[in-house]
A and B are shown apart, each in its own frame.
Chain A
Amino acid sequence: MASRVQQGGRPGGSRFSQFKLVLLGESAVGKSSLVLRFVKDQFDDYRESTIGAAFLTQTIALDETTTVKFEIWDTAGQERYKSLAPMYYRNANCAVVVYDISQASSLDKAKAWVKELQRQANENIIIALAGNKLDLVTENPDKRAIPTADAEQYAKEAGLLFFETSAKTSENVKELFTAIAKKLPLDQGGPRNIRSGPRQGVDLRPEASSTVGASGCNC
């Protein structure tokens, strides 16, 4: 699939940045499915739950000269792995917190993760909230447990990007990751080996375009 790009290399004068992304959320909301859709464009109806954590990479082109490589940690979300979570989000530049729009309790879990990230993770971490399994409610609106407006409202207050997605139909999956990439400080995205703490200089990026734009594309 995507061609290999040297770390930090700038082939043809283009910009290349690399970022760490972590997926968090309750078990079975579709984290692994979102990643697999994003990385391999695959979906599996009978997916066994993740054991431990999986590490995957995907490179996307934002435009002709800008590529972004995501290094993705897909975590298991089970209670017993809770204490390991900091290991995965500690150096993350961005996070996708996932809930299942057909399961009310999963949003509470998502909110708890957001809180933890805002308290413990990299200060400038970009967080996206993803309400997954959109296809279920498209098919049968009764299945919706969380109104879009409620989640959107919460996302706005907490300063999160927000999408409703379907790993099954791939609706909004690419958009979700692209929106994150656009919000990332592209010039500073160094190789992952720089296990930096909060990065300096990030604030130089314009803040404005971000929060609005994202939830915008959902309409």
Chain B
Amino acid sequence: MAAQNPSTPPSSELPTVPFTQEGTELAKDTPAAPSRETTPPPLPPRPKIYGLLGDRPPTSGGLRVPSSAKRPGLQSKATTALSLGELHAQTNRDGSPASCQTRARGRSRSGSEVDDSASIRSFAPTMQADGDIESLLGEVLGDSEIQTWKIMGPQFPGGQSQGASIFGNGPEFEEAFEHEFDELTELETDGSNEELVVKQWKAKLKHFLVLSSAGKPIYSRHGDDRLISNYIGIIQTIISFYQGANDSLKGFTAGNVRFAILSKGPLNLVAISKLDESDQQLRVQLESLYMQILSTLTLPSLERMFKARASTDLRRPLQGTEILLSALADGFTRGSPSTLLSALECLKLRKSHRQVINNTLLKTRSPNLLYGLIVASGKLVSVVRPKKHSLHPGDLHLIFNMLFEAGSVKAGGGENWIPLCLPGFNNTGYLYMYVSFLNVNNTSEQVRERPSTSSGEDEVAILLISANKDGFFELKKMRDELVEQLDKNGSLAFMTAAIKRGRPSCTDIIPGTTLRHFLYKSRGNVQFTMPSFDPYFSTPIARRRLLTLYTHLHTHLHTRPTHLKIHHTTSGNCLTLAWTTPLFDLYAVAPGTTSRAALAQAANRVVQWVRREEERVFIIGGAVF
């Protein structure tokens, strides 16, 4: 069915930001901000120059974090904090942050009417023109109403206690993770090998199940119906017991396994995890699986099917999309910064180079284009979009998953025309997506005639989305022109170089730092940036461990009602920091031998680096028509 003119998204969308955050996380997490949905991320306070973790307001000028000397305040804090759970609260010296944010909001509003890019900058200002500001960190802390920070000791769950059995350096976890993505042995028809298969099934660290509310299995990451029907029966019984009591069950724990349940209309989605994730994190993952189902069927058609027959077997209409669900599921099990942060990663490019790409997209834009995207090795390069429509990160995640995780589109070796519903944009109708992969290492001639199927990180995908189901040839023409011009104006070469360069390492960013890895999420831009996983987290298991650390930090930062602004933990052999401000979330990891001061200083340097590189690591605004 044709998508009727894709309906205008709810007015809560911020037309001038390229991406919109799901939910209203911003409002929730920023107690001072009014919770009106239309509230843009607040402007940062006027630059005030504080050092990181400055426990005293500076009297003047930039209080630098000294590179070697321990800062007195910090030192004493760390010492006293050895008594666990101590909270160190600090009230801002002058004025409430609320007034500051109100001021900021007013300014960005009016900005949006004048000039788009200017307003975007004012929405998401991790960068200030003023080059003298030593520490954005300090300035935010200083203006926050309350700065709380808490030092957690080794009994933090990610440390030695409950997580240890799974996450310690135990060979058990390693063994389990190594076989996590292996197919189960086929169950013999006579059931003779059932014990073995069940053992394999139980060894999985993570399961995802989708059931109809009548208890029919729709999807299971591991194990076929015959194998899992008993378990499904039990889960279904538990869910309906609570639903019968009008008290829908969100999750429960059995041993070291957490069950999280998301009920969505006629569907129950279940995550079963030994990875020590919070219910909220698991539910974000289930939400994404649900969005994938909607993306295939649309909400009205899903509802219609179940209204017509409560016992509908959804497997048939979903046939062929199991690979997409499994690719999502495995991404979550491997650990996905993008999902954890609900944000996107962009290809780091010079601002002027991105500008040229944006302009080329605008110049070649064909009349029925809704969104155009250039994506390189899973990172966004550029976006062209109508002024009044933002992109939803959840939708983009589905698209990236389809193109870069599930192999079928790329392996098809052609250009593709894919009907899909982008539920964050409009869950009632289909859009049509033109996809073409270019191998940027080949000459453009070859690229134009025959997109390569060679897999690898060097591929660029052109995605052109329209509401017109007959638009394939129109968009193909646009793509041909776009690629020709990108080749001519050197943009393809810039992209290739950027892809080759990859992410910078921590020591590229901060020479000599002990910092091992970090995640920086710009809340206003709904984007994140991070350094290379190499050299410390090159293996899948090392990466999974890192993501588990981040998962714990994220839990602590975002579990209400504690409004932790900074959270330090010594976890295993790592010192970690999690830090949230209205502008960004930062998670950083250093070896356990690092001093808190050094980690704090490194965090400060990361923020400075992002501020300097903001228009390279993030897409600010994108190409708007």
Contacts and interface: CB of A to CB of B under 8 A. Distances in A.
Interface of A: 1, 4, 27, 32, 35-36, 39-40, 42, 44, 47-57, 72, 74, 76, 78-81, 83-84, 87, 192-193
A78 B415 contact: no
Nearest to A73: B417
8 contacts: A47-B411, A51-B409, A53-B417, A54-B416, A55-B472, A56-B414, A78-B319, A84-B419
B433 to A, nearest CB: 8
Interface in B391-429: 402, 406-409, 411-420
Contacts of B419: 52, 81, 84
Contacts of A193: 473
A60 B406 CA distance: 31
Interface of B: 1, 296-297, 316-317, 319-321, 323-324, 402, 406-409, 411-420, 433, 445, 449-450, 453, 469-470, 472-473, 476
B411 A44 contact: yes
B323 A79 contact: no
Nearest to B297: A80
Contacts of B450: 1, 57
Given A55-B472, A79-B316, A32 B412 contact: yes
Contacts, number: 88
Nearest to A88: B417
Contact of A76 (B320, B411, B414): B320
A57 B321 CA distance: 26
B418 A40 contact: no
Contact of A56 (B1, B317, B406, B413): B413
Given A27-B319, A40-B453, A48-B323, A55 B407 contact: no
A40 B316 CA distance: 31
Contacts of A83: 1
A79 B319 contact: yes
Given A49-B323, A51-B324, A51-B402, 4 more contacts: A27-B320, A39-B414, A48-B407, A50-B408
Q: Nearest 6 A-B pairs (CB), nearest first?
A: A52-B418, A48-B408, A56-B414, A49-B320, A54-B414, A54-B412
Contacts of A55: 414-417, 472, 476
B411 A52 contact: no
Nearest to B434: A55
Contact of B317 (A35, A42, A48, A80): A80
Contacts of B415: 54-56
A84 B402 CA distance: 20
A77 to B, nearest CB: 9
B402 A74 contact: no
A64 B323 CA distance: 44
Contacts of B319: 27, 49, 78-80
Contact of B320 (A42, A44, A57, A78): A78
Contacts of B320: 27, 49-51, 76, 78
Nearest to B450: A1
Contacts of A56: 412-415
B183 to A, nearest CB: 11
Contacts of B413: 36, 39-40, 42, 54, 56
B86 to A, nearest CB: 54
Nearest to A52: B418
A42, A44, A55, A56 — which one has the most chain B CB atoms within 10 A of its CB?
Answer: A55
Nearest to A83: B1
